[in-house]
Each structure stands twice: as structure tokens, then as C-alpha cells.
Amino acid sequence: MLHITKRFPGIIANDDITLQLRHGEIHALLGENGAGKSTLMSVLFGLYQAEEGTIKKDGKEVKINNPNDANDLGIGMVHQHFKLVECFTVLDNIIMGVEPVGAMGFLQKKQAREKVIALSEKYGLQVDPDAKIEDITVGMQQRTEILKMLYRDNEILIFDEPTAVLTPQEIEELMKIMKNLAAEGKSILFISHKLAEIMAVADRCSVLRKGKYIGTVETKNTTMEELSAMMVGRNVNFHVEKGPANPGEVVLEVQHMTVASKVHNNNAVKDVSFKVRRGEIVCIAGIDGNGQSELVYGITGLEPLVSGSILLDGQDITKSSIRKRSTSGMSHIPEDRHKHGLVLDYPLDYNMVLQTYFKPNFTSKIGFLRKKNIREYANRLIEEYDVRSGQGAVTPARAMSGGNQQKAIIAREIDKAPEVLVAVQPTRGLDVGAIESVHKNLVAQRDAGKAVLLISLELDEVMDVPDRILVMYEGEIVGELDPKKTTQEELGLYMAGAKRDEVKNK
């Protein structure tokens, strides 16, 4: 890709970018949220057309007008949000669009199945071709996407932030798969902002910053610090600066909470009790799917409890509505920003007041919105929390990059001045610069005497940010650790269920 330039209203997403991919290499593309990585890949995949620049494959100039052209050229992509039909089987999804059809229009699935099985054996991609997508894990869904590309004999494979949705084990497996693919002569473009992963698998890494091309480096000749400095334009502190915690009185108390599961008949959260005090950050650690989501649903009121109770500032809120909890001082940064956190078709300013729109400042006595106040308020948050978007407060949330959407939610929830902040994977999908600022915000909340309950899947975050760690395994809290005294290995043993303590009801 040579000298690619792509403009959007109010923004130059890609400014004269050149990217060269060699046969059989894993090439990482690194950049902050909104740096233009996804746009560049969309140009390559034919979803957008660049205004300037050319794309060459094997030295020949090509035109890619749509994903079909890309596919014909052997370019395949695994999107961050998978494009799979939930109620179809793995096999059906793989052959979709290139179905082998025999006489009379009947599908010839047998040969397709053989090809899929052969491919999955060759590259070590374990899937069950007859399982339905809705029944399999996210990791398996991703393998299905990879098989989809291989089935189409694609030579160039694009992975758009593939590890964002995976558990640590699945990530490791994916790394192995990617190395296998490269060894077999496939070329891989790997979009990520997780430096450790890039250092682990990529051969070379190209860095974008604010739409501009910064440079390409060999990973073996560089360090994580150097890469992150290239990405954000300054040195980034990987470690959270914080003083000692001064825990005060209990703000949030969960007693013997049990929450049902939507997926299976068992309870997802089983008799969990813990307390969060003023001036401390408590982190719930654990591998994804061990009841953390349901725990948060129970605390915030999105799902009813089977049994147990929740106290906020000493008041029983077990049966309180979501609104009541919110106005009593609970803020919630949700796990899924598209599902819960934002109304995507609303402009940014409307989303900024999603939790407070009914307050007198934003709604007059007779029920009219005070649009001017809403706009001013949104502009202040945009400024303070550095939320970047094409058209400022009137940008539809849908048109914003994922990281900036997340920043907007964080701004909204923190600015509500909560007593307790429930932050679920608040740094998911953010780049190192943004992660640093989120962590600073969490620590600032703590230092202001608020209680913070952090739910995280990232080991680095779990070790770095909180003052106390509670490990969840299969719906129960199996250990309480002090991040200053424990090690990642010990934490891993608790998370995997290999070790457990009788936790005192503290």
C-alpha cells in the first residue's frame, strides 16, 4: 500500500501512509485509538476507497472496490466483531458465499467438510464443524473466522484486534496459530495495541499516529518502551503511580449474593460476600465467564438476585431500581459499551447525559430538555477527558472510534461524582496512552475518598491498579490477595481454580 490518503468529514484518517507486507511475515500495525488503523485496513479490504495512493500486490497495481475484489486477490479479514450467522453451524458459516453447489442446486457439503477438516488439522485450528456458532466459545468463533479465510485460499490475512475478546489461554493459542500460518507462507497483518503481543509474534511493526505513518521497525531490534513512545509521541509510564490507600468506612457491601445464569441452569454467582471501602480500589480478577458479569448485573440492578443483599452506604438497595441505585451514588462503566453504555444513534452530547438527563440542569420543570446546558456540559467533558470525534458534541456515537466511545462513558460515569464506581474492563480496547489516563482517573477517584470496584481480565491491570484483589472462580470468591505481595503466578493459580482459601467475610 503506497501513499494512501483517506479523508472523512472533519478528519484525515490516513495521511500518506505506506505499508509493505512481505510473504510469510507477521506484520503488526500499531497505533492509538483513532490513529487510522482500522480505516487503513478497510481500504485494503475494499470497504473504503482511498482518495490518493495505490495498492500493489506482487508488484502489480490492483483496484479494490469491494470486499469481493479483496477476496479475489486473496485478502481476507477477521473483524473485531465477528461476522458470523449465530444460528448456523461452523461449516455453514465457513462455506457461506462460496457454497459448493452440485447439479440441481443442491449443496455439496461433504467435500466442503473434508476441506475444512483438512485445513483445521493442517493449521491446528480445532473446531467442531457441526456445532452452532451460538453454542461455541468466542475463541472457537474466531477460529471459524480464520478457517473462513483459509477455505477461500486467502494469502493475506488481516486480524483486527483479535485478542481483545479472548482469554489469556486463548490468546496464547491464537499466537501459535498465527505463527503456524506464517510458517506455511501466509502473510499476516496484525492490528493491535497490546505491545506484549506484538513483541511476541510479529516480525515487523508499523506505527501510525493520528493518521500519519511514523515508521516500521523490526521487533527483535526494539523494545516495548520504544514502540509505545513511537505510538503516542511521548514516553508512557506502564506502572500506575499511586500512593498508599487510606481505606475508610464501608460504602458497598455485598452479602451472600447469588445470581442466576442466563446460559445454564446453575447459578452464575454463588453466595458471594465482600465489602468495598472508601479510598480503596478492589479488583475482581478471574478468567472471563466465571460469574463476573453476573456479579456486576446483580450489583447494578440489571438482573435480579436469587438471594442475598446489597448495601450502599448502609442502605439496603437489594430491591431498588437501577435509577435509584444510580441516584444513590453508584456509577457503572459497563462491560459492553455498545449494548449498554451508549445509544449509538444519539449524538455524543445526548450520550453524555444518559444517566443524568432528568436532573433539573438538563430538564426543565415541565419536561423540556435544556439543550444548551446539555451541549455545554458535553463540551466540558469532551475537553476534560480528551474525547476525540469528528464533529465534537454533535457527532453520532456510532461514528466514533471504540476508544473514544469508552472515554465518553468513563467521563460520564466519573463526572456523576459517584460514591462507588463499578468499572468493568474499563480499558478494554484502549491504547496505552488512554489506559494510562483511565488508571489515573480510577486512582484519583480513590484518592478523593470514593470506593472503586474494578472488574478486570488483564493480569497487568489486576496487579497494578487495585489495593486488594478478590479472585473469582466458578461464581465464588476463592481468594483475597494483596497485589504488593502476590505474584502473577500465584494469581494465575487462583484464577485457574488450582488454589483456594477460605475467604473471611471481610
Instruction: Give contact residues for another protein (rule: CB under 8 A).
Output: 7, 49, 51-52, 300, 302, 321-326, 332, 334, 339-346, 350, 354-355, 357-358, 363, 367-369, 371
**Nearest 5°: phi and psi at 478?**
-105, -5
Going by C-alpha positions, the residue among 84, 63, 74 that lies closest to residue 158 is 74
Q: Considering beta carbons, is residue 355 or 425 the nearer one to another protein?
A: 355
For residues 188 and 67, give the distance between their C-alpha atoms in angstroms, rounded to a whole number. Answer: 17
Other CB atoms within 10 A of residue 497 CB: 15
Going by C-alpha positions, the residue among 392, 359, 398 that lies closest to residue 376 is 392
Grid coordinates representing 498?
488450582
Q: Considering beta carbons, is residue 303 or 461 the nearer one to another protein?
A: 303
264: three-class secondary structure by DSSP: coil
273: three-class secondary structure by DSSP: strand
* Residue 418 · residue 329 · CB < 8 Å: yes
CB of 339 to another protein, least distance (A): 5
Q: Considering beta carbons, is residue 109 or 416 the nearer one to another protein?
A: 416
Amino acid residing at 232:
V
CB of 262 to another protein, least distance (A): 13
CB of 274 to another protein, least distance (A): 23
Going by C-alpha positions, the residue among 251, 306, 300, 253 that lies closest to residue 280 is 251
CB of 364 to another protein, least distance (A): 9
Q: Considering beta carbons, is residue 15 or 203 the nearer one to another protein?
A: 15
Q: What is the CA radius of gyration of the chain?
A: 24
Q: Considering beta carbons, is residue 417 or 444 the nearer one to another protein?
A: 417
Q: Considering beta carbons, is residue 199 or 302 the nearer one to another protein?
A: 302
CA angle 400, 401, 407 (to 5 degrees): 90
Q: Considering beta carbons, is residue 169 or 321 the nearer one to another protein?
A: 321
CB of 343 to another protein, least distance (A): 5
Q: Considering beta carbons, is residue 48 or 494 the nearer one to another protein?
A: 48
CB of 324 to another protein, least distance (A): 8
**Nearest 5°: phi and psi at 472?**
-105, 135
* Residue 343 · residue 354 · CB < 8 Å: yes
CA angle 159, 164, 170 (to 5 degrees): 85
